Amino acid sequence: MAPQTGGNVHGVLALDPRELTMAEPAPAAHVRRTSPTSEPRWVQWLLIAAAIGFLLAFLLLPLVLVFAEALRGGIGAFLAAIREPDALAAVRLTLVVTAITVPLNLVFGVAAAWLVAKHEFPGKRILVSLIDLPFAVSPVVAGLVFILVFGAHGWAWPLIDEGVDLSLPLLGQVHVQLPKIVFALPGIVLATVFVTFPFIARELMPLMEQQGSDEELAALSLGAGGWQTFWRVTLPNIRWGLLYGVLLCGARAMGEFGAVSVVSGHIRGRTNTLPLHVEILYNEYAYSAAFAVASLLALSALVTLVLKTWLESRHGESLAAGHRH
């Protein structure tokens, strides 16, 4: 541990205010072996070559290929494919869906993490497992689920088709009718929210548990109210974890394919997100255009990766354990 108060021989009230200040001790570096308990050099290089070869073949080359194919027809063709109205509509839709999905899951993630990390109650483990459910569900099934509810034969269909008349106490007769959900924006948003549901919660829960409740209790003892404590004490402590979760959630939301494919109806220019647009172009053999649009997504994926790596290296200690390499 860091040595404490500078030595003083005059006792009590002469504690030196300019004593050494100490930063937090650095986390112990992992031991790397290049010693007698190590493989022979040639084995090491063989393994490295095998690993790199594998990664190149399966990870790097596909990525490179996307950009290569996108630019195959030249810059002109590339820009034309991107500026095409249906492509632009797809970009817009993807961004809109993401802009709605991420804040919704953000609020949920924060609420769920607060609940789980700062309180004890029976059934906590079950709740956490339930929150993980969307991870276990195939995206296509996720889409199917909403078709079963809001589709033409779904059990919520009457609410959409004709609506329902309710007499409410203060407002009198009210006609409640849901907008079209399947094959429209709300359905796409719902499916995307479903699929990205656990991301932010799973980032924040272990982080907040790690951080404990002492600072919040200290704030309470100093007279702060619940919301004050949350805004001033909790939120600043979790901001990097939040950013990380938002990043992952956003990346997944933009790229979601299976669930949206089922729910959207593939209406060109209206309900096609970017990934769906890529599929349409590809199926029409417009390969260059397909890859051009795909390269936009690939670019955003790279940006995500860069930000993610930056967050992990720069603010690793403010993220849940397991994100520090």
* Span 157-196, contacts to other proteins by CB under 8 A: 190, 193-194
Mind giving me the DSSP string for 68-134? HHHTTTHHHHHHHHHHSHHHHHHHHHHHHHHHHHHHHHHHHHHHHHHHHHH---TTHHHHHHHHTHH
Inter-residue contact 249 to 202 (CB < 8 Å): no
Structure tokens at 292: 């051009």
State the residue for tokens 């990043």. Answer: 247
Structure tokens at 91: 């970009």
CA–CA dist 107, 15 (Å, integer): 47
Q: Looking at 24-32, 79-87, 159-167, 168-176, which segment touches other proteins (CB under 8 A)?
A: 24-32
Binding of other proteins at residue 267 (CB under 8 A)? no
* Nearest distance from C-beta of residue 173 to other proteins, angstroms: 26
Of the candidate residues 102, 207, 219, 289, the single one contacting other proteins (CB under 8 A):
219
Three-point CA angle 197, 137, 135, nearest 5°: 45
Mind giving me the DSSP string for 225-279? -HHHHIIIIIHHHHHHHHHHHHHHHHHHHHH--HHHHHHHTT-TTTS--HHHHHH
CA–CA dist 295, 298 (Å, integer): 5
Of the candidate residues 26, 27, 36, 83, the single one contacting other proteins (CB under 8 A):
36
> Of 166 and 217, which CB lies nearer to other proteins in the complex structure?
217
> Of 6 and 269, which CB lies nearer to other proteins in the complex structure?
6
Of the candidate residues 88, 133, 166, 267, the single one contacting other proteins (CB under 8 A):
133
Binding of other proteins at residue 291 (CB under 8 A)? yes
Binding mask 42-81 for other proteins (x = CB under 8 A): --x--xx-xxx-xx-xxxxxxx-xx--x------------
Q: Judging by beta carbons within 10 Å of its beta carbon (0-12, 13-18, 19+), is residue 245 exposed, middle or buried?
A: buried
Number of residues that bind other proteins (CB under 8 A): 136
> Of 167 and 285, which CB lies nearer to other proteins in the complex structure?
285
* Nearest distance from C-beta of residue 81 to other proteins, angstroms: 14
Of the candidate residues 74, 103, 158, 236, the single one contacting other proteins (CB under 8 A):
236
> Of 37 and 173, which CB lies nearer to other proteins in the complex structure?
37
Q: Looking at 79-87, 158-166, 168-176, 293-301, which segment touches other proteins (CB under 8 A)?
A: 293-301
* Nearest distance from C-beta of residue 46 to other proteins, angstroms: 10
Of the candidate residues 251, 289, 292, 311, the single one contacting other proteins (CB under 8 A):
251
Inter-residue contact 203 to 106 (CB < 8 Å): no
CA–CA dist 12, 166 (Å, integer): 76
Q: Looking at 73-81, 82-90, 173-181, 283-291, which segment touches other proteins (CB under 8 A)?
A: 283-291
